[in-house]
Amino acid sequence: MASKYENCPRSVSVTKTVSVYPKILHPQKVLNLSNLDRQCPNLMYLVYFYGPCNAYKGLSLSSVFNSFKCGLEETLAIWYPAAGRLSLNPNDGKLNLWCNNRGAILAEATAELVKISDLGDLTQYCDFFERLVYKPDFGGNFSQMPLVVAQVTKFGCGGYSIGIGSSHSLFDGPAAYNFLSAWASSSSATMMKQNKDSNLEMFKPVHERPTLLLGSSSSNSQAPKEVITNHPNYDHQKTGAAAIDHLLQLIMQAAAEGNLQKSASSVAAGSSDIRKGFVFKTFHLTGAFVESLKRRILQEDGGFSCSSFEVLAALLWKARTKAMGLRKEKMACLQFAVDTRNKLVPPLPNGFSGNAFVLASVALSAGEVEKLGYKAIVEKIREAKDSCNNEYVKAYMEGLQGPQAPLPPLNELTLVSDWTRMPFHKLDFFNGSAGSAFVSPLVPPIPQVTYFMQNPNDHLAIDVRIGLLPQFLNAFSSYFLAATQ
C-alpha cells in the first residue's frame, strides 16, 4: 500500500541515538557459531505499531525511551551475545560471535506530522515503514555491525512505533521471539515501576551451540552471505539434504536456459536494488476459510487430516507456480523452514537461542504441481517435513560448508516461513495498556519469501505476506483468491 508520507523525507526525525550496554557485563569470549547461524548475518527488521492510548497519554517520549533503554539493559545482561559483534576467524574465514559487551543501538525519533491512522492497513507493507527502523552504517563490515538495533518513534496522534532489527546469525524466529518477550516484559515493568527480576526469571536462554550443530569445520569455507548457491557448472554429488540438492538443480536449470545470467546481474547490482523490484501484498485468510479448505481435503479421503500450514503451503505453491507461467516440464520447488529443536537426538535444550531451522524441500514438475490435488501435495509436504531428522541436519550442515553467494531470484522456487506459532503482535512493551500491536516485517534479504502470520484481530485467521515481481502480482492474486472462494 502506498502512503502519502513515502515521499516526505522529513516526516520522521531522529532526535537521539545511544549505545545500550548490558546492566551486568560478562567476561569477553568467542561463541562458536554453526553453519545454520552463518547463513544470513543481515539484520532482520520488525515494526510494532501501538495506537494512541489514554494509559500512556501522559508519558513523555523521553520517559518511554528511557523505559525501553532500561529494559534492554536488563535483557542484554541475560542475552549477552546480543551486545557483541560478529568476528571472522582468521584461520578459516568463518563468522563467529565475539561477546565483547559493545552494546546495542537505540534511537529516539518523532513523526509529528503523521498519524498512525493515516498509514491505513498496517498489515500491508509500505516503504514508509523503512523510516521507522534504525539502519546502521557499517560499510559492509559485519564485524562493525551492532547485532540489535531499535528505534522508538512517537507519532503526532500520540501513538508509537518500535522498529527492531536483530542479526539472523544471532537468533532464528523462536529465539528472537523469546528475546523480544524478555525485553517487552522488562520494559513494561520499568514503565510501571514493578520488580523486573520476577519478570525475567522465566527467560533462561541457552547460548552455547551444541556439538551436533557445530559439526566439523572446513578450512576452505568463506564468510557466508545469505543462502547457499554454488556455481551452476558445479558437478555435484547429492548431499543427502533435499533442499540443497533441489536448489542446485534449479540453478543449473536456470543456467541452461540463460536465465541465471539475468538473475546474477541483478544480484550484482546490490541486494537493496533487488528488493526494490518487488511488491509486497498481504492476503487475509479467515479461520473459517482455513477450516473449510481442510474439510475440502478431508472429503477427498475421509481418514485424512492436515495442519493449517500444510494446506496453505499447498495452496500457495499451486497458485504461485501457475502465476509464474512455468512450462509444464520445468522443475518447480517448494521449500519451507522446519524447526529441528525437538527433532534432534538429543533434543536441543529449552531456551536455545541460536538458529535451529533447516529447509525442507519438495520438487515436482510444474505440470504435476498444477495437476495434483491438495491431498497429494500435502502428503509430499508432510514427507519432506518428517525427513528433517538427525541425518538430514548433518547433511544440511555439510552442504553449507562450500563457497556461498546470494541467492538469485528463481521463479521456480517458492519459499515459506511460518510465523503462526510466534504471536509477535501479543508482545506489549506498555504493560498491557496498549493491547495487541500490529506487527509488520520489513523487506527480508530474500524478498520472495512468503510469511504465514497470525492475524492480530482473529487468532484463527492467518495473514499471508508474499513478495513478487510486479508482473506476477495480478496473476497470483487471481489464482490464490480463486481458491478462497
The pLDDT of 33-59, averaged and rounded, is 89
The pLDDT of 395-408, averaged and rounded, is 80
Residue 365 pLDDT: 98
pTM score above 0.85: yes
Cβ atoms within 10 A of the Cβ of 10, count?
8
Of the residues 168, 207, 246, 425, which is catalytic?
168
| Rounded Cα distance, 170 and 76, in Å | 13
In this model, does residue 349 exceed pLDDT 60?
yes
Quickly state the pLDDT bin for 92 (edges 50, 70, 90). confident
Domain map (residue ranges) of the chain: 13-213, 239-482
Residue 207 pLDDT: 95
Quickly state the pLDDT bin for 401 (edges 50, 70, 90). confident
Q: What is the pLDDT of residues 202-257, one digit of tens each?
A: 568 999 998 777 764 433 333 333 333 333 333 445 778 999 999 999 999 988 88
In this model, does residue 94 exceed pLDDT 80?
yes
The pLDDT of 402-415, averaged and rounded, is 81
Residue 81 pLDDT: 97
CATH level 2 (architecture), domain 13-213: 2-Layer Sandwich (3.30)
The pLDDT of 26-44, averaged and rounded, is 94
Residue 473 pLDDT: 96
Q: Is 459 an annotated catalytic residue?
A: no
| Rounded Cα distance, 248 and 4, in Å | 43
Residue 231 gets which letter from DSSP? -
Class of domain 239-482: alpha beta
Phi-psi region of 5 (alpha: psi -120 to 50; beta: other; left: phi over 0): alpha
Report the share of the chain in percent with pLDDT over 70: 83
Quick check: do 13-213 and 239-482 share a fold?
Answer: yes
| Rounded Cα distance, 67 and 47, in Å | 18
Residue 436 pLDDT: 61
Quickly state the pLDDT bin for 429 (edges 50, 70, 90). confident
In this model, does residue 185 exceed pLDDT 60?
yes
Q: Residue 361 to residues 30, 221, 240, 317, 364: CA-CA distances in angstroms?
A: 33, 24, 12, 12, 10
- The answer to whether 282 and 455 have CB atoms below 8 angstroms apart is no
Q: What is the pLDDT of residues 67-81, one digit of tens each?
A: 999 999 999 999 999
